[in-house]
Structure 1
Amino acid sequence: MALVAGFVLAALNLRPAIAGISPLLDEIMDDVGLSPAGGGAITTVMVVCLGVFGPVVPLLARRIGLDRTLLAGLLVIAAGVSLRGLDGAPMLYLGSALAATAIAVMNVAMPGVVKQHFPSRLNLMTGVYVSSVVAGAATASALVIPLEHVTGYGWRGVSALLAVPALLAAVLWLPQARRGRAGGQEGPRPIGTVLRSPVTWYVTALMGLQSLTFYVMLAWLPTIFLEAGVPADQAGYLLSLTNLVQVGTSLAVPVLAGRRSSQVPYVVGAGVLTVLGYLGMLLAPTTLPWLWMIVLGVGQGASFVLALLIIALRPANPATVTALSAVAQSVGYGVAALGPMVFGLLREVSGGWSVPLMAGLGVLAVQIVAGSKAGRPATLGR
């Protein structure tokens, strides 16, 4: 029970440091004296860190073990969110980068942790992991403003409060880290095998492209609806709705998809649902917008959890899971970091959202093709 509780609480800490910035961004920019570009750079720096620092995880896992790597990540998240609440823009960016680096490490380590500790419940625990990640993001974005009002601490104090759940998760995970193998992961180094396999690059494409379309919606969805004539409060609720839908989807889909040797029907179906969500925003954004957001949430939530499930299923052992996760998430988040900026440029050049949304449909078409390859039965590192 303590193992599961520590695992779930660790997963809940994987998004609040990022999702908690957006609701406070105007206040942060005013207080620190940042331009809109400087404010947007906070999230950009964090997403870039998600891609850049993933490759160090196989080395850490081999040296100190997955359990101790996860514990270190939780402690560094706590340090990062505390640091960015100090005076000055340098501390803001440094603390954000530090927290994102820890999240990058934990992102890559978590599929290996699932494979190592829950091999007989891999499908269920992958769903629990992803739904906890989504729930952590939704909770942080919803609560930072109320917490600011209740405590009177301002954005700096609220940022520091995000260290509390990370420290609590570290306390729960500490016994597991102490029991972990001092020598880390055993067996041959799997990175060469992973890099030579076409499966790796199909999985990487799936991970990167579904992340790109998700971060585009996270950054621009309210603006798309606002410019279509939807009231501001409703535009915010629509973003919350699509994120909440992903929680339930993340629990159900891996249990069903993991029972089959091939996940192709699920990956293609998730991509098609995401396409329908994009088409709804493109063709009829003010007609049943809540329906488009439910469809989009199911599609994006399923795509994310399926990418992580495939990362956990394809390798034969936890060390290879960590290697595949490092490649797929590092390259994937590097690609995803470009999405919001490119879509913003397309909006600026074209004068509307039709061209960016059509570009998104093109990305989704490639995602479906890559997913149909990644979802086929295969084994890495046997």
Structure 2
Amino acid sequence: MTRTTADPGPDDLPRSGIGPPSKPSRRTTQVLLIAGFVLASLNLRPALAGVSPLLSEIMDDFGLTPAAGGAITTVMVVCLGLLAPVAPALATRLGLDRTLLIGLLILAAGITLRGVGGVVALYAGSAIAGTAIAIMNVVMPGVVKQHFPDRIGLFTGIYVSGLVAGAASASALMVPIEERYGWRVAAGSFAVAAVAAAVLWAPQAFKRHRRDRGAGGHRPYAMLLRRRVTWYVMAFMGFQSLTFYIMLAWLPTIFRDAGLPAAQAGYLLALTNISQIAATLTVPVHAGRARSQVPHIVGAALLTVAGYLGVLLAPVTLPWLWMIVLGLGQGASIALALLIIALRAPDPASVTALSAVAQSSGYLLAALGPFAIGLLHQVSGGWTVPLVAGLLTCGAQLAFGVLAGRSPTPGVPARVPG
């Protein structure tokens, strides 16, 4: 079989710790590689998830309106959409490993900046952190392919689970840190994790080896955009992201306004993030074997709707149950969106292109959520109208998900081999 530029060759093996000359060296290299990879994945969401538990304190300190408070998350999500195409260009020039290292260092700088200055530093630091996450989002799947070519499923699961676990950790820890040291220290605390990941990853990034394979390559964007299924996938990715970021930005505030303590509100957001792990580890495995993903998409959307309804109608009655239900629905939704990107594109180059356009458009759409919900709350004076708007978004997610998840046309693979 002809080897493509994305396929690893024998000279690539020492990079992944498989073929160094001695066993101690091999073990050390492998441990550093996996530890750096896992810690990098844990840094993909705390900068986003750590804002909402602190939002009331930030708004009080700077005198921000609810719409302006929601715009902090919006700025970051806009960067995820607009700047995702920067990552392939960096990876082609510098290699995947060094691009990931740059992303971690930029992330640490952005997190630190937003906790040390005024309003301008708050938004500028958020934009810098969002830029870093955009780069890392795109690079991480390529890192999996490069370093773990025979264990892609395993390390993809580890990476997505690390993403979710990082968000859960930030949600749970922000309020206790804020109560002891203030919101500025809490907001900047995860810069330490980014620096630690950079330190662990630096030996890998500065190894002398050939430029990373598969970072560039032809991406048939024009051909993809002529296919209707591409637009369905883009819309599904966008609306499921929108329903997620609405809750990520405002859920602790909703619970606090309903009468729950600040710490409990943060723990509930952490619970919904932890619950996602059960779905991200199981749903893609089952759905990937099916010709149509529609039943899974419907189930995920209904769980998300049930979580929204619980928060709307009975926020202080069994809130932990609503968070588990919401987390399962949202975790299954993002896993299905990423799975469908792989299933609906006919070749690796098209998968890369579809992933780029879907994530860029999806995050740009999702960026409207926190700001729009904050504005609706500001105008209506309560959370009923914003949450009803969120439920309508869930309906759009379901509609486009069904279109994207239908059985592919003849000649298009139903699932990814292997």
Q: Output the TM-score relative to the length of structure 1.
A: 0.84
Distance in 2 (alpha carbons) for counterparts of 1:106 and 1:93: 20
Distance in 1 (alpha carbons) for counterparts of 2:210 and 2:126: 29
1:115·1:312 contact (CA, 8 Å) conserved in 2?
no
Distance in 1 (alpha carbons) for counterparts of 2:139 and 2:293: 22
Query: Of the candidates 204, 215, 221, which is equivalent to residue 185 of structure 1?
Result: 215
Displacement of 1:322 in angstroms is 3.4
Partner of 2:25: none
Query: Of the candidates 51, 69, 91, which is equivalent to residue 21 of structure 1?
Result: 51
Query: Of the candidates 64, 72, 95, which is equivalent to residue 35 of structure 1?
Result: 64
1:115·1:317 contact (CA, 8 Å) conserved in 2?
no
Partner of 2:3: none
Query: Of the candidates 229, 242, 246, which is equivalent to residue 216 of structure 1?
Result: 246
**Can you list the C-alpha shifts for 1:146-168, whole angstroms capped at 9, x where unaligned?**
44566x5x544444442222222
Percent of aligned pairs with the same amino acid: 66
Correspondences of 1:137-286 after superposition (within 5 Å): 137-147=167-177, 152=181, 154-177=182-205, 178=207, 179=209, 181=211, 185-225=215-255, 234-286=264-316
34 and 320 in structure 1: CA distance in 2 versus 1, 3 angstrom threshold: farther
| SS, match of residue 401 in structure 2 | helix
Distance in 1 (alpha carbons) for counterparts of 2:254 and 2:175: 23
| SS, match of residue 117 in structure 2 | coil
371 and 142 in structure 1: CA distance in 2 versus 1, 3 angstrom threshold: same
206 and 125 in structure 1: CA distance in 2 versus 1, 3 angstrom threshold: farther
Distance in 2 (alpha carbons) for counterparts of 1:207 and 1:14: 18
Displacement of 1:143 in angstroms is 2.1
Higher deviation after alignment, 77-86 or 176-185 = 176-185
* 1:72 corresponds to 2:117: no
Higher deviation after alignment, 2-11 or 118-127 = 118-127
16 and 318 in structure 1: CA distance in 2 versus 1, 3 angstrom threshold: farther
1:17·1:99 contact (CA, 8 Å) conserved in 2?
yes
* 1:135 corresponds to 2:165: yes
197 and 72 in structure 1: CA distance in 2 versus 1, 3 angstrom threshold: farther
* 1:371 corresponds to 2:382: no
* Runs (5+) with no aligned partner, structure 1: none
Partner of 2:91: 61
Partner of 1:92: 122
| SS, match of residue 185 in structure 1 | coil
**Can you list the C-alpha shifts for 1:304-327, whole angstroms capped at 9, x where unaligned?**
122223334544665544332221
Distance in 1 (alpha carbons) for counterparts of 2:149 and 2:194: 25
195 and 221 in structure 1: CA distance in 2 versus 1, 3 angstrom threshold: same
- The residue type paired with residue 268 of structure 1 is V
Higher deviation after alignment, 10-19 or 91-100 = 91-100
- The residue type paired with residue 64 of structure 2 is S
Distance in 1 (alpha carbons) for counterparts of 2:38 and 2:349: 21
Q: Output the TM-score relative to the length of structure 2.
A: 0.78
Displacement of 1:235 in angstroms is 4.4
Displacement of 1:140 in angstroms is 1.7
1:9·1:169 contact (CA, 8 Å) conserved in 2?
yes
Distance in 1 (alpha carbons) for counterparts of 2:262 and 2:177: 22
270 and 180 in structure 1: CA distance in 2 versus 1, 3 angstrom threshold: farther
- The residue type paired with residue 225 of structure 2 is L
**Can you list the C-alpha shifts for 1:160-201, whole angstroms capped at 9, x where unaligned?**
442222222223333444446257635423333333333322
317 and 128 in structure 1: CA distance in 2 versus 1, 3 angstrom threshold: farther
17 and 237 in structure 1: CA distance in 2 versus 1, 3 angstrom threshold: closer
**Alignment coverage as a number of residue pairs:** 377
- The residue type paired with residue 193 of structure 2 is P
- The residue type paired with residue 335 of structure 2 is V
Query: Of the candidates 386, 394, 409, which is equivalent to residue 356 of structure 1?
Result: 386
| SS, match of residue 361 in structure 1 | helix
Distance in 2 (alpha carbons) for counterparts of 1:357 and 1:111: 33
Provide the alpha-carbon RMSD of the alignment: 3.1
5 and 373 in structure 1: CA distance in 2 versus 1, 3 angstrom threshold: farther
2:73·2:370 contact (CA, 8 Å) conserved in 1?
no
275 and 183 in structure 1: CA distance in 2 versus 1, 3 angstrom threshold: closer
Higher helix proportion, which one? 1
Displacement of 1:103 in angstroms is 0.4
- The residue type paired with residue 199 of structure 2 is V
Displacement of 1:301 in angstroms is 1.2
64 and 322 in structure 1: CA distance in 2 versus 1, 3 angstrom threshold: farther
* Runs (5+) with no aligned partner, structure 2: 1-29
266 and 125 in structure 1: CA distance in 2 versus 1, 3 angstrom threshold: farther
- The residue type paired with residue 329 of structure 1 is Q
